[in-house]
Amino acid sequence: MITILRLGHRKDRDKRASMHVALVARALGADGIIISGEPDDELLQRIATVGQKWGGKFKAEYTASYRTALKKFSGKKVHLTMYGMPLQDVAPKVASEKNLMFVVGSEKVPREVYEMCDYNIAVTNQPHSEIAALALTMRECCGTRIYSQRFPKGKLRILPSEKGKNVEKI
């Protein structure tokens, strides 16, 4: 089980970034995302629509308290932050865990999140993108199986193509 916890979503400013986080999580095989911050029904709806169209069982929900979500979660909690320990050093420890929560911040992450998580992981210690950080963390913790997930019951499927676009209706 892989769950993403998105911290501090801001309805206007993070509209696209939070959607990217959710889509990446889904495409690479996470089971669901919990979004905290400002409530945003439209975002939840857009994520659900992608699932209806492209298949799979990915779930998105809102929480009014990231603290409760962190406390309730029984597996290992991995916070992605540019200040943390190198991904390549921590990933082998995390890889054997069966139940993982990846915690992805937006602007300023409260101090207690660093304390409440089991690991604080950095992807390069340079400023970049929480979207890329999530993708690379899933790559190193879950291996290359992230690239070949199955998405049953979708309405559309892409057939890989060398030069064009080939979309099949199912």
**Interaction site with a copy of itself (CB under 8 A):** 16-17, 20, 23-24, 26-28, 50, 54, 82-88, 111, 114-115, 120, 122-129, 131-132, 134-136, 139, 144, 146-149, 151, 157-158, 160-167
Which alpha helices (H) appear in the chain, and where do they start and end?
A: 15-27, 41-54, 66-72, 87-95, 111-116, 130-142
**Between 68 and 124, whose beta carbon lies closer to a copy of itself?**
124
**Between 72 and 145, whose beta carbon lies closer to a copy of itself?**
145
Residue 96 CB, shortest distance to a copy of itself, in Å, is 19
What is the helix, strand, coil percentage profile of the chain, to 5? 40, 25, 35
CB 98 within 8 A of CB 37: no
Cα 147 from Cα 28, distance rounded (Å): 6
**Between 42 and 64, whose beta carbon lies closer to a copy of itself?**
42
**Between 98 and 163, whose beta carbon lies closer to a copy of itself?**
163
